[in-house]
Amino acid sequence: MFNIWEICKNDHSDSMNEKQNSAEGVTESSHQDSGQDVINKEEIDAEAQRLFDLGKRALVMKNMELAVRHMSSAIELWVKIYDEFNEKLITPHMLYGQALLDVYLANSRGLAVAGNDKQSDESNGDEEMKDEEGNEKGSADELMDEEEDEKANGEDETANGEEAEGAANGEDEEDVDDLQLAWEAIETARVGLIRLPTSLDNMARLGSCHVLLAEIASENGHFDDAITSISQAYSVFKEILPKHDRRIANCHCLKGANLEMSNKFEEAKKCFEAAIESLELRKKHLEDVLKEELDSTERLKVEEQLEQCIEYKDSIRNRMADVTQTAKFKLANILSNQPMVTVDDSEVDTESLIVRKKRLATTNENIVGKVPRLEPEIGESSENKEEKEIQE
């Protein structure tokens, strides 16, 4: 006969073993899940970094449409594992916002945007006309016949004017979206930067954010907001950059352009004069560098910077001359609208009056022109590094 105590003891032992095995199984399963999460996070991070690197390459190659796609995808992945204001996402947001702004500027000014032109479509045309087996789908005549059939069946929406109208409205909406997305990306980067400890690099990036926000505000016609943002950028730059740094001149120039758009001509002239003064200092600095011993690569780089400096200075001088002339025409227009003493018709020079009105119209059109972009692109080599190399 079995001893009941032994049976109970064995049952208790078996039960404990089952619980222990079950607990070990749960623990092992937990470790596997945790390990899988780590692997997934690393994979997401690696894929986001790969897309971001492709976006930077596209930005350097001036293929803005492709840069926007890659950087957007990279950020979408990163926000799954990081907070959107995380330090890791600051530069991606800045570059993404810059690419969006460049796409908008190119489209609004009628320039060809790399990655979105007809030549690109035509170069890929042969691949699109082949099926999975590599055989051509049909001749040009067959394609034309298919197109004619579609038109005959009323499938061509352009014939009814619907598609053309939708495309026109779509372009405007897309432009607005690009500008809005650019603002959101740059503003996210700005908020992320102000949460970080103060450093020269963080302050330089914060200043660049303010410059980009000023450009976006200017494109939206919010000139006062643009002036505020560029003033903030200058307040940052003047604390960390030498007076001959071209970003200082860019701030003066951009502020002057927005003041001009606001019809504040005297203030605009002062800003342009400050920009020219800064560029004069930069020109002298670069000329001094060229007197030193440099290898061929460094010398070529400095010579290119000197040439750009002179071009910037000349363009600002021309802009300042336009401001002076515009101010005169504005004043003449105001005076012409004031009540005047009765004058004999024979004393009025009709021909000169017509010429003056034409010149006024032309000048007003020029004022509405876009603000020039003189800020160096973020995607290029760091200006801080460039300045350090030159100073050394």
Residue 142: pLDDT above 80?
Answer: no
Whether residue 134 lies inside any domain: the answer is: no
Average pLDDT, integer, range 29-44: 62
Whether residue 268 lies inside any domain: the answer is: yes
Least confident of 87-96, 134-143, 185-194, 235-244: 134-143
Number of structural domains (the chain) is 2
How high does pLDDT run on average in the chain?
A: 74
Whether residue 366 lies inside any domain: the answer is: no
3-state secondary structure of 130: strand
3-state secondary structure of 136: strand
Examine the domain organization and report whether 209 and 330 are in the same domain: no
* pLDDT at 274 (0 to 100): 96
User: How many Cβ atoms sit within 10 Å of the Cβ of residue 340?
Assistant: 8
Residue by residue, DSSP assigns 319-388 as HHHHHHHHHHHHHHHHHHTS------GGG--HHHHHHHHHHHHHHHHHHTSPPP--SPPTTSS-HHHHHH
3-state secondary structure of 384: helix
User: How many Cβ atoms sit within 10 Å of the Cβ of residue 320?
Assistant: 21
* pLDDT at 17 (0 to 100): 52
Whether residue 158 lies inside any domain: the answer is: no
Last-in-domain residue among 215, 240, 265? 240
pTM over cut 0.75: no
* pLDDT at 329 (0 to 100): 77
Rounded Cα gap, residues 360 and 84, in angstroms: 49
Tokens of 164: 């053309």
3-state secondary structure of 138: coil
Whether residue 214 lies inside any domain: the answer is: yes
- CATH label of the domain that carries residue 316: 1.20.58
Examine the domain organization and report whether 211 and 266 are in the same domain: no
Examine the domain organization and report whether 279 and 204 are in the same domain: no
- CATH label of the domain that carries residue 219: 1.25.40.10
* pLDDT at 22 (0 to 100): 47
Domain assignment of residue 304, given as a range: 244-335
| Cross-strand partners of 130 | 136
Whether residue 329 lies inside any domain: the answer is: yes
Encode 15-40: b = buried (16+ Cβ within 10 Å), e = exposed: eeeeeeeeeeeeeeeeeeeeeeeeee
Residue 18: pLDDT above 70?
Answer: no
Output DSSP code: residue 86.
Answer: S
Residue by residue, DSSP assigns 21-77 as HHHHHHHHHHHHHHHHHHHHHHHHHHHHHHHHHHHHHHHHTT-HHHHHHHHHHHHHH
Cα–Cα distance list, 257 to 205, 286, 323, 374 (Å): 22, 26, 9, 11
